[in-house]
A and B are shown apart, each in its own frame.
Chain A
Amino acid sequence: MAGQEPLGREYLLHEEIGRGAVAVVRRATSRHGGAPLAAKLLRPELAGDRRVRELFLREEAALRALGHPSIVRLRDLIVEGGTLAMVMEYVDGPNLRRYLSLRGGRLTPGEVVTVAAQTAAALAAAHEQGVVHLDLKPENILVRRGSTPPEIRITDFGVAVLLNDADRGAAGGTPGYTAPEIFQGGAPTPAADVWSLGVLLLEMTTGRATGDPSSLPGPLGPVARDCLAADPRRRPPARRVAAYLRQFTPGGARSFGGTGTPARAPMSAEPPTPVLFSEPPAPGPFAQPPVPGPFAQPPVPISEPSSPGPFTGPPSPGPFSEAPARVPFPEPPAPGPVHGFPGSPPIADHDPEPTTLPLGFPPPQLPPPAFPPPAPPQPPRAAFTEPGPQPLGPFTDGGPQPQRGAFTEPGPQPPAAFTGHGPQPPRAAFVTPGPQSGPGSQSGPGTPGQRDTIGNWAGRLPGTGPYETPPPARPREPSRWRRGPLLTLAAAVVAAAVLAGINVTANAGERADRLVTQVTVPPKVSPVEAGPSAGPAATLPPTTEVALPPLNTPAPEKLRVTLAGKVEDDAGTLAISIRDGVAIAYVCDGDRLEAWLKGTAQNGLLNLTGKNETKITGLFDARRAAGELTIRGATHRFEIGVVRKPSGLYRLTGQVRGATVNGGWIVLPDGTQVGVLSRAEVPGPAPRLDVATRTTTIDGETVSGTSVDAESGEGF
């Protein structure tokens, strides 16, 4: 249906433009306009899988970060209900599978190099980011419409590996293109993509995804062979393949001379020699396998510049007689990027490993292919084809080949990597250079019996050191830690350290000032002993359930103050007396409600508790206190100020006619008194207290009380 269905809040879905095993691709547009887009909607059974969704979400940043001219950019990931859609750049053009079929099944070597160089550069960029494709095949390579030479965009980066990770097995690779170690349970490494690239090289050149890679013409043979090494550790990294191939792209350091017809080596006066796919001629004097074609490496011993090339047979074109060993240790490639195609990132700029051919040897020469030339480019039809399931067994040929050229296999030689383990099967003949004369170079690339690889040749360049077999393949290259959050953490640590320093400094001054205490000095009032009940019984009853001071007891604070005032909600009247970090409080309503509390007043914090879960928490300073009082399960806010004698807190304990009486009074600055007197544990309104004499009359008897005096410590 070509209707406009919404996708997320920003996109509209249009007609279907492709369909595959794991997804349906529809054209999409943004509600805000802009370039056309393609939305790949995972099939419901995949999109509904929580693991798949989580994996895609987790890796979204990596996929988005893949910015390369030859990679279809993921613009957005929509997870909505049961929908999982990847919104990406729309590429107007066919995929490479269709492009090949339009071209009769294969491309010219120049085009192959162009496409392969772009592919390798894109892979290199992705591998740099720690992303592997794992399902590189013609269906996942889009050729931009009308581009000459063909410009490609690789799509579906990460999709296969994600689905594979979810154990879906839906797109864990395509037989024929995916490296054998993947099918054997190996870890998906960048080397797996390099294998796929080798298969692509083979297929684009010969029309078949199988065959002898060494038999490919020109520079394609050795690189395809290296890419298709059975041991993933022997495969060159994509960046090196890219740098190598880029030399032969139009505009590269070495060129085929165009993409239409293969160029002849400029220095060769001899007619081009056809590629020999049959058994090569007799081995040369170095007992090396014969030269498969003009791409064979210069065989002249480097130590003998004047020595002519030992190969004069038909396979050797002109280059072998031209300055082969003029530069014993030739100059490295010219500095600066060599852009083989528009938009190609200068990956080789950072590649200290030189490639095979910029060794000062004559440029290679492409022979005319032994198979019919490909069909001329045709205007491709736009297509965004979803990779479909390959109707192949895992170790069978590459499926329906559009056309098979006049290419003849030298023999039944299955792709080596399909053998998985074991030594590399013998490859087609390929001549390595002569023995190296430099010290310690017994096993140089020219050593008899050693395969020539890009890596081997790279090892001969000055300053680069020998090519070392990469360490055992690891599942993925760890990328670097992102600096932003780490910098934020570091800045936080620095800021905290500075603030701690400020606090310590300020506290040092505080300790020095601690000798100066802030003391309130209430007028001294001498208790007046009156009444027979006064005496030893007037000692304070113990305040039970006293809160222990916190374990972290700070230095005593020299603040002595009494505060009193009303509690909100008419919950009573409160007085708090603070002396050197110890606080005693009394709350009463003047009728039946009363409670004594004791606790701490430190660091500006009040913390007192009393019977029946009565509690005071709050703040205080030398002028006032505020906080909340919890009594009888209800919490009330209070804010009280400093009071001075005779206002303050008083209490009484004694015997009146045989009954124990306990009383408490709060005297406010306006002279009002609030108190509760308990007789035999029965609370009731307290009689008026004479604050001057601290006496009161109970049942005709005069009883004296005491003050809770923060200054003198009385009552504490």
Chain B
Amino acid sequence: MPTATLLRPRAWLPLVAGVGVAVVLGVYGRLHEPVGTTDVTGFLRLQTAKVWLATGVALFGMIQLVSAVALYRARSAPGWVAGLHRWSGRVALLLSLPVAVHCLYHFGLRFDTPRVLAHSLFGCLLYGAFVTKMLLLSRPGRGSGWALPVAGGVVLTAVAGLWLTSALWFFTTIGASW
């Protein structure tokens, strides 16, 4: 007997789209010739700003985690929690974009060191998982079962990995200010 659900649209589209975005970003990062700079001082100031932006993204990521847990665990979470989750995610995305665009355009995908390799891969993973999560949220159908928490978990993992391999490294090796 065919199984019956309220709605079960195809589930592969968000996943395929997310993988596609991640791969495209990675391929672009390899093919694109990184752009050098001679204004090294300005460049490093920019790097400093980027790590602070990344830190902001990580903080909003923590808000995302807490609010998501509240939504999933405590079914009676107040309504503003969902709004907090959405808007913290949007702000985090907004903060991350300048960092990501600059990294991709000026550095590309590199594997000089394990840290750089991990950072590059986490960057591709983040936006691929984000696209998957958004499509899971928006696809026809109510709820996404385990897929949505998994996508959110991957996004958060990528954010954490990105922060550890960039901002934390920067703060501990370079310093909080340049």
Q: Known: A77-B75, A478-B140. Contact between A619 and B174, CB under 8 A? A: yes
Contact residues in A for B106 (Cβ distance below 8 Å) = 503, 603
A76 touching B75, Cβ below 8 Å = yes
A517 touching B38, Cβ below 8 Å = yes
Contact residues in A for B41 (Cβ distance below 8 Å) = 621-623
B2 touching A59, Cβ below 8 Å = no
> In the complex, how many angstroms separate the beta carbon of B1 from the nearest chain A beta carbon?
5
Q: Known: A496-B100, A552-B30, A619-B47. Contact between A607 and B76, CB under 8 A? A: no
B33 touching A554, Cβ below 8 Å = yes
1/0 per residue A106-150: CB within 8 Å of B? Answer: 000000000000000000000000111010000000000000000
User: Which bracket fits the contact residues of A?
Assistant: 35 or more
- Find the A residue at minimum CB distance from B31: A552
A644 within 8 A of B: no
- Find the A residue at minimum CB distance from B105: A503
> In the complex, how many angstroms separate the beta carbon of A191 from the nearest chain B beta carbon?
14
1/0 per residue A182-214: CB within 8 Å of B? Answer: 000101100000000000000000000000000
B34 touching A603, Cβ below 8 Å = yes
Complex: A507 Cα to B43 Cα, angstroms? 12
A496 touching B101, Cβ below 8 Å = yes
A620 touching B40, Cβ below 8 Å = yes
Complex: A58 Cα to B90 Cα, angstroms? 23
B173 touching A554, Cβ below 8 Å = no
A276 within 8 A of B: no
A559 within 8 A of B: yes
Residues of chain B at interface, number, CB under 8 A = 66
Q: Which residues, 72 to 98 on B, are CB-close (under 8 Å) to A?
A: 74-76, 86, 89-90, 93-94, 97-98
Cβ 8 A contact of A489, one of B44, B134, B143, B170? B134
> In the complex, how many angstroms separate the beta carbon of B51 from the nearest chain A beta carbon?
11
B140 touching A617, Cβ below 8 Å = no
Cβ 8 A contact of A603, one of B7, B36, B86, B89? B36
Complex: A600 Cα to B110 Cα, angstroms? 13
A518 touching B40, Cβ below 8 Å = yes
A500 touching B105, Cβ below 8 Å = yes
A305 within 8 A of B: no
A482 touching B138, Cβ below 8 Å = yes
Q: Which of A158-166, A463-471, A523-531 contacts B (4 or more CB under 8 A)?
A: A158-166
1/0 per residue A232-258: CB within 8 Å of B? Answer: 000000000000000000000000000
Complex: A488 Cα to B37 Cα, angstroms? 32
A496 touching B142, Cβ below 8 Å = no
A626 touching B173, Cβ below 8 Å = yes
Query: Can you list 9 A-B pairs, Cβ within 8 angstroms, ordered by A?
Result: A8-B75, A131-B7, A161-B4, A165-B5, A475-B4, A488-B93, A510-B37, A603-B36, A626-B174
Supply 16 further A-B pairs (C-beta < 8 A) apart from A11-B76, A132-B6.
A61-B142, A78-B75, A131-B142, A165-B3, A475-B5, A483-B138, A507-B105, A510-B38, A510-B39, A552-B30, A552-B33, A581-B36, A619-B174, A621-B43, A622-B40, A626-B178
